[in-house]
Amino acid sequence: MLARWGKIEIWLGAVTLILLGAGLWLAMTAPADFQQGYSVRILYVHVPSAKMALLSYLFLTGCSIVVLWKKSETADVLAQASVSVGAAFSVVTLASGAIWGKPMWGVWWAWDARLTSMLVLLIIYVGLMGLRSALDPGKAAKATAVMAIIGAVDLPIIHYSVTMWRTLHQPASFSKTAGISIAGPLLIPLVVMAVAFICLGAYMVLVKARAIEYERRIEALELAEEMGHEEMHHG
Amino acid sequence: MALLKLRGVVHRFGRQVVLRGVDLTVESGSCVALFGGNGTGKSTLLSVLSTRLRPRSGRYQLSGFDALSDGESARGKLIFVGHHTHLYGHLNPIENLRFFLDLRGVSRSEDRLHEALEAVGLARFAQRPAGGFSAGMRKRLALARTILAPPALLLLDEPHSALDRQGAEWLNGMLGAYIEQGGAVVMASHDVARLAPLTYRVAWLYGGKLWENPPDGTQKVEATTA
Amino acid sequence: MTELMRYLRGAYRIAWKDVVGDLRRRATLSSMIFFAVSVLVVFQMAFEPTRQEALRLLPGLLWITVLFTSLVGLGRVFQAEEEDGALEGLLLSPMPRGVLFLGKWWGNLLLTLLVELCLVPLMLVLFNVDAWMRLHLVFGVLLLGTLGLTALGVLLAAMTQTARSRETLLALLLLPLVAPLLVAGVQATGAVLGSHGPDATPWVRLLLVFDGVYLVMAPWAFGWLVEE
């Protein structure tokens, strides 16, 4: 089914490119924040990619439910693609968070509740990739779907527990630094970047999913060919 | 009413279609032998009949239960002895049988268990862990289950493999008695010679369908495998 | 009613079979206990805590040891079902999948609790921590944590059963998911021992939430996992 989405892929890519260009230009010309200086600009990447890392998981959960319910192979392909894309976004989130944290907090890494949850999310993404590659294709779809749903249920508990844990040790001032209250001229580039990242995420999932679909078709063809040869040898 | 009714069963693994609309009706007190070359879907069909494999489409009724929506009730009516015998190596035969019966909610006295072991020729090994048993002994122990809790339907995959000539004769005797008492058997087999003493109906799997008479093309395959 | 009794009996028999099998082969239980002791020894060598430090570190060490030790046990939960296709045999029995899960879970739970029963007194002795009067509270917290840990663990063990390098994979999947359990367990144990602030209630509540979620979800998810 995804094979016929080539046109959509091209158009989505073009829109993403334009939006990203506009967003980055706006972000780079935005005035400096009076508290955070120019380092605030990294938030234009950090915040949208954090949202996308979560949004990818939401999408993955939806696909996984369809996989279990309808045994749909397209949903499984999309699920596999969204795992890679979600992992990429969480890496970007963590890296940009660290780059932002160095001038702001004086350290690359702080066990802030959001960063910790994001790190756990990344590990879950990596676990899902590992699970898929370690299982036979016939079993991988169902197992990764179940695992993704378990993760979806667990993530809010993880976030809640980590928040409770951090607020116990650090008074609110520190953990609140990750929160942003940007107003006026700083908000417009953020909105543009958020839309651009949503398009980027959708585009990446589509490209990856189509690649996976072709990969699976090739494997199926190779298998059929091998079995054909075997028949001939037997006959 | 027929004991087993399979209608329009379709199944595929990935893109490979194995069953393309299989119909099968089996009455109580009869035996059906499934023939077909390697990869024609005999084991797949048995898995569907055992309720382990849910086909992509089709209907399956067993003993009045809709086996696809109420697999639990259907499983209570059948026993499947395949290549694996589902035995625990650290338990002895008595414990293995007791475990099997408990999961079915059937209670049998200690004497009945020993009688069943006697019947399958394993009485001497009642206290040995099943881990050391040979393939033939395992198959006998697995078949002891059908003596203790006779099912309405007995599914067998290559029942004569792993048995010696005596074992095969014993198995045919056991199956004959079981069918006489109203049990139904569906078995996949290669071994026409060893089935000879039994009265059975033949069904051929070819091209993803079931045929009552050998369709063109299967005879050649059978000739090489039988 | 009789149906329920049949289910409970079936689950009990599966657990019985696993525990008896383990005791006969002296396989999982003993390796879990020796693994736990090794962790304690290694910890002592690496940190050499004073008595004060030991009291502070004890909750964390206890939970880390429990977590890693349970991984040893979970790696073997489905080992007995692999030989001779025994899991297929279970799936062919007229039992709901949830009952089969319950049986496997009870077996693992019992073994893990037995290990914990040895582990805690041993820790108090080895690290000279005088908390004998609060032992029952520590066990209470441990029990709450172990319920959820083993339920999720057995489910993931079923998921990775046929995977390549499954033990690494099991750890990779389990550890991030039990983060809440670790946080809440350590904090609650610390509160009970008087080293981590006064109030264990919110953490115990978190443990209960975790247990509740996985006790409801795991049998259901197991059904999805094994159905073909």
Structural domain boundaries in chain C:
2-227
Collect all residues of chain B within an 8 Å Cβ-Cβ radius of residue A71. Answer: 56
Whole-number pLDDT of residue A35: 67
Whole-number pLDDT of residue A137: 82
Q: What ipTM does this complex have?
A: 0.91
* Sole residue written with tokens 């917290």: C141
| Amino acid residing at A91 | V
Whole-number pLDDT of residue B153: 95
Collect all residues of chain A within an 8 Å Cβ-Cβ radius of residue C202. Answer: 164
Q: Residue C175 and residue A165: Cβ atoms within 8 Å? A: no
pTM for this predicted structure: 0.90
Question: Stretch A165-171: mean pLDDT, rounded?
Answer: 66
Chain B: touching chains (3 or more CB pairs < 8 Å)? A, C
| C39 or A1, greater pLDDT | C39
Strands of the sheet containing B153-157, edge to edge, are: B78-81, B153-157, B184-188, B31-35, B201-206, B209-211
- Can you tell me the distance from the alpha carbon of A196 to that of A25, in angstroms, rounded to the nearest whole number? 12
- Quick check: A177 pLDDT over 50? no
DSSP A20-63: HHHHHHHHHHSPPBTTTBGGGGGHHHHHHHHHHHHHHHHHHHHH
Q: How far is CA C219 from CA A8, A150, C11, in A?
A: 41, 12, 12
- Can you tell me the distance from the alpha carbon of C146 to that of C188, in angstroms, rounded to the nearest whole number? 13
Of A179, A171, A87, the C-alpha closest to A126 is A87
Q: Is C93 on the interface with B (CB under 8 A)?
A: yes
Closest-CA distance, A153 to chain C, in angstroms, reads 8
What pLDDT, in 10s, does the model give residues A94-127?
Answer: 999 988 888 877 888 888 888 899 999 999 999 9
Q: Is A111 on the interface with C (CB under 8 A)?
A: no
Q: Which of these ranges, A4-18, A127-141, B210-224, has the smallest mean pLDDT? A: B210-224
B15 → closest Cβ in A71, A220, A227: A220
For B5, the enclosing helix (H) or strand (E) is strand B4-13
Whole-number pLDDT of residue C149: 97
**B contact test, residue of C17, C81, C225 with most B CBs within 10 A:** C17
Q: Residue A139 and residue C162: Cβ atoms within 8 Å? A: yes
**Backbone φ and ψ of A46, nearest 5°:** -65, -50
Q: Which of these ranges, B56-65, C21-30, C179-188, has the smallest mean pLDDT? A: C21-30
Shortest CA distance from C218: residue in chain A: A150
- Quick check: A169 pLDDT over 70? no
Closest-CA distance, B33 to chain A, in angstroms, reads 24
Share the mean pLDDT of chain A.
86
- Quick check: A231 pLDDT over 60? no
Q: How confident is the model at residue C1 (pLDDT cuts 50, 70, 90)?
A: low
Whole-number pLDDT of residue B14: 73
Three-class DSSP category at A207: helix
What pLDDT, in 10s, does the model give residues C149-170?
Answer: 999 999 999 999 888 888 999 9
Whole-number pLDDT of residue A181: 55
**Cα angle for residues A217, A218, A221 (degrees, 5° grid):** 85
Q: Is A158 on the interface with C (CB under 8 A)?
A: yes
CA-based torsion, A215, A218, A219, A220: positive or negative: positive
What pLDDT, in 10s, does the model give residues B67-119?
Answer: 999 989 999 999 999 888 999 988 999 999 999 999 998 889 999 999 999 99
- Quick check: A232 pLDDT over 70? no
Whole-number pLDDT of residue C120: 94
Q: Is A156 on the interface with C (CB under 8 A)?
A: no
Collect all residues of chain A within an 8 Å Cβ-Cβ radius of residue C180. Answer: 154, 157-158, 160-162
